[in-house]
């Protein structure tokens, strides 16, 4: 009998193919996972097209986007219809600032200008130059006609600084220079005596110390000189009206003078990433207005002064990456405003005095990198992954602190807080992958062999 054979063969081949496919699909499954990220990069991103050069050029329509910090509000929110002083209009044009839209009408283009409401012509009180092209030159004449400015900002403007006209110096209350003006000197900045706000960042400032800059600024309230390669010492005398000091990211050195605690209006002190040494003045608690204190990444030593407990509104305390020692004071957990506490990478020892309800209240807490510090495991769960060892009965670290920080666990560290078992099951799963492949191949192969035997038997039977 010949007719029954072909359908049987076709059927068997189909069966065979399907089992081969099924077997093949099992091993491909795990390989698809690593393959996916490889496929992503080749797709070229078409977003590189819009050039980032000179976004201050007029866009087709003034878009209400960009710009992070809004300019100070105009002195009077007048709706006066008179227009900008023609001299100032020409000065703006000479600085490549588009004036097709009335610079006095709010919101101005990129919020770069704000005017007063004087008669017969209005005058500029705020000007922000951002994303300048390098061929823009500051001219003395232009700046002289802009001497009504009370606030002047340079953001990403790699143009050369020039000496400011005396009228502009007298008028300016706020000066910002972010990644602009190539390089500045302390003497150049110190002329801006009438400032209440000074902010210089990401530009080298050549000065023998912050005092050179601030010494003659009698009404200064807020000063930022950060990432400026500023050298020297923390000034002994500073204006008592200062509320914000940010000297982070420089090479300042020496001790903090005790006189710093006279700055009773100080709300924020950021000295992170400098080379300061010595101890925190014991009278630091006199800074009763302080909310933010960062001394991170310096070489401070000694213990946390007890007077810190007297600062009622302290929200943010960052002492990380110094050589602080002693025990961690338990009064920290009684400071009601505290939200961010970073004590990592120091030389604290003893039993960490915090319980779970305190740590839960904090928005950020870091303690790792203190090899002689331990936690009481009858109070705190090891699942918190604090990065320090549990204590023995004598309050000493039981085992060397978990070395997981610098190894494979790093990638999971952001999610670790919830449950440690998660990561281990995750690892198990990835190890299960190859086993499943082997199993799939084995099942596939054995079913093929079984099928062939079955077909051979069938064809013999049918004859
Ligand atoms: C400057 O350019 C950056 C990106 O190049 C952009 O995000 C920013 O909004 C621009 N600022 C202004 C004021 O045009
Ligand atoms: C200008 O400032 C206003 C008010 O602060 C804000 O709503 C608007 O988005 C800003 N526009 C631009 C272009 O930055
Ligand atoms: C500061 O402003 C006052 C008036 O507000 C003025 O008399 C004085 O000359 C200004 N100082 C400087 C250095 O321009
Ligand atoms: C900083 O200023 C001093 C004195 O004005 C000068 O001798 C020195 O060369 C300047 N340093 C740099 C890096 O420009
Ligand atoms: C920082 O200052 C030192 C000398 O004070 C100088 O050698 C170095 O080039 C400066 N770095 C920058 C980025 O300006
Ligand atoms: C602090 O500011 C007040 C007014 O705000 C002023 O009268 C006083 O002179 C200032 N003190 C210092 C030390 O500049
Ligand atoms: C104070 O710290 C908080 C939290 O890190 C931060 O958001 C805020 O900008 C800081 N304030 C000042 C004035 O530095
Ligand atoms: C803490 O550091 C200070 C200054 O480095 C040192 O004098 C003191 O002995 C240290 N105390 C402890 C308990 O290590
Ligand atoms: C945790 O510590 C705080 C401050 O020391 C204390 O007020 C609170 O009662 C403690 N909570 C528990 C559950 O022990
Ligand atoms: C840990 O806490 C328990 C309960 O509060 C206490 O009895 C024990 O002495 C503490 N252990 C250490 C080393 O502080």
Quickly list DSSP for 128-163. Answer: EEES--TT----HHHHHHTTT-SEEEEES--PPP-P
For 397, the 3-state DSSP assignment is strand
Give the model's pLDDT for residue 359: 95
Q: Calculate how far, in angstroms, residue 346's C-alpha sits from the geometric centre of ligand 9.
A: 25
pTM assigned to the model: 0.75
Cβ of 330 less than 6 Å from ligand 10: no
CB atoms closer than 10 angstroms to residue 199: 19
177 bridge partner residues: 154, 200
Partners of 155 in the β-ladder = 130, 178
Query: Pairing relation of β-strands 299-302 and 275-278?
Result: parallel
Provide the pLDDT for residue 438.
53
- Ligand 6 atom closest to Cα of residue 240: 13
CA distances from 258 to 104, 163, 248, 347, 377 (A): 48, 36, 19, 24, 39
Q: Vertex 293, ends 364 and 332: CA angle to 5°?
A: 60
Give the pLDDT confidence score for residue 463 in this predicted structure. 53
As a dihedral over the C-alpha atoms of residue 261, residue 263, residue 268, residue 272, rounded to 10 degrees, the angle is: -50
DSSP β-ladder status, 113-115 and 124-130: antiparallel
- Span from the CA of 347 to the centroid of ligand 8 (angstroms): 9
pLDDT in tens, the chain (463 residues): 444 445 444 444 444 445 444 444 443 333 333 333 333 333 333 333 333 333 333 333 333 333 344 444 444 444 445 788 889 999 999 998 888 888 888 888 888 899 998 888 999 999 999 998 888 889 999 999 999 999 999 999 999 999 999 999 999 999 999 999 999 999 999 999 999 999 999 999 999 999 999 999 999 999 999 999 999 999 999 999 999 999 999 999 999 999 999 999 999 999 999 999 999 999 999 999 999 999 999 999 999 999 999 999 999 999 999 999 999 999 999 999 999 999 999 999 999 999 999 999 999 999 999 999 999 999 998 888 899 999 999 989 987 555 544 433 333 333 333 333 333 333 333 444 445 555 555 666 667 666 655 566 567 665 5
Cα–Cα distance, 213 to 205 (Å, whole number): 10
Spatial separation of the C-alpha atoms in residues 266 and 287, rounded to whole Å: 7
What is the position in ligand 3's atom list of the atom closest to the CA of 166?
14
**For atom 1 of ligand 8, which residue has the closest CA?**
302
Cα separation, 94 vs 97, in Å, equals 7
**pLDDT at residue 402 in the model:** 52
CB of 351 sitting under 6 A from ligand 10? yes
Ligand 6 contact via 240 beta carbon (within 6 Å): yes
Tell me the CA distances in angstroms from 280 to 56, 187, 202, 264, one per residue in order.
46, 30, 27, 16
**Nearest ligand 3 atom to alpha carbon 191:** 13
- β-partners of residue 254 are 276
- Specify the long-range contacts of residues 378-381, CB closer than 8 Å, at least 24 apart: 379/355, 380/352, 380/354, 380/355, 380/356, 381/356
pLDDT at 98: 83
What is the fold, at CATH topology level, of the domain defined by 86-390?
A: 3.80.10
Dihedral angle sign, alpha carbons of residues 227, 229, 233, 237: negative
Residue 320: CB atoms within 10 A of its CB come to 22
Position 83 scores a pLDDT of 85
């Amino acid at each position: 009998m010949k007719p029954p054979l072909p359908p049987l063969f076709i059927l068997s081949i189909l069966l065979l193919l399907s089992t081969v496919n099924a077997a093949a699909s099992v091993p491909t499954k795990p390989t698809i996972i690593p393959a996916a990220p490889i496929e992503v990069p080749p797709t070229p991103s078409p977003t590189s097209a819009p050039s980032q050069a000179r976004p201050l050029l007029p866009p087709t329509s003034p878009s209400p986007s960009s710009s992070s910090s809004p300019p100070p509000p105009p002195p009077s929110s007048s709706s006066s219809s008179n227009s900008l002083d023609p001299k100032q209009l020409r000065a703006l044009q000479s600085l490549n600032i588009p004036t097709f839209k009335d610079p006095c009408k709010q919101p101005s283009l990129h919020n770069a200008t704000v005017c007063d409401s004087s008669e017969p012509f209005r005058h500029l009180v705020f000007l922000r130059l951002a994303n300048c092209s390098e061929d823009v030159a500051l001219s003395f004449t232009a700046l002289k006609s802009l001497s009504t400015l009370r606030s002047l900002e340079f953001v990403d403007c790699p143009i050369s600084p020039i000496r400011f006209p005396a009228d502009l110096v007298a008028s300016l209350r706020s000066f910002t220079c972010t990644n602009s003006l190539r390089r500045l000197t302390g003497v150049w900045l110190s002329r801006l005596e009438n400032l209440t706000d000074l902010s210089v960042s990401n530009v080298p400032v050549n000065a023998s110390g912050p005092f050179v800059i601030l010494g003659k600024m009698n009404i200064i309230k807020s000063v930022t000189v950060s990432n400026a390669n500023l050298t020297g010492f923390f000034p002994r005398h500073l204006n008592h009206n200062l509320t914000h000091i940010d000297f982070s990211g420089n090479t300042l050195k020496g001790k903090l003078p005790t006189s710093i605690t006279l700055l009773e209006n100080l709300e924020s002190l950021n000295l992170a990433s400098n080379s300061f040494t010595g101890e925190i003045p014991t009278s630091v608690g006199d800074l009763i207005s302080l909310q933010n204190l960062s001394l991170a990444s310096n070489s401070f030593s000694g213990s946390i002064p007890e007077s810190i407990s007297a600062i009622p509104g302290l929200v943010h305390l960052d002492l990380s990456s110094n050589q602080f020692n002693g025990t961690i004071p338990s009064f920290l957990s009684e400071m009601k405003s505290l939200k961010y506490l970073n004590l990592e990478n120091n030389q604290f020892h003893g039993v960490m005095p915090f319980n779970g309800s305190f740590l839960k209240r904090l928005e950020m807490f870091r303690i790792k990198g203190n090899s002689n510090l331990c936690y009481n495991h009858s109070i705190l769960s090891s699942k918190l992954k604090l990065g320090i060892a549990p204590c023995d009965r004598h309050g000493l670290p039981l085992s060397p602190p978990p070395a997981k920080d610098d190894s494979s666990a790093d990638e999971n560290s952001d999610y670790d807080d919830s449950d440690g078992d998660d990561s281990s099951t995750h690892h198990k799963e990835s190890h299960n992958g190859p086993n499943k492949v082997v199993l799939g191949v084995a099942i596939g192969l054995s079913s093929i062999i079984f099928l062939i035997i079955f077909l051979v038997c069938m064809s013999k039977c049918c004859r």
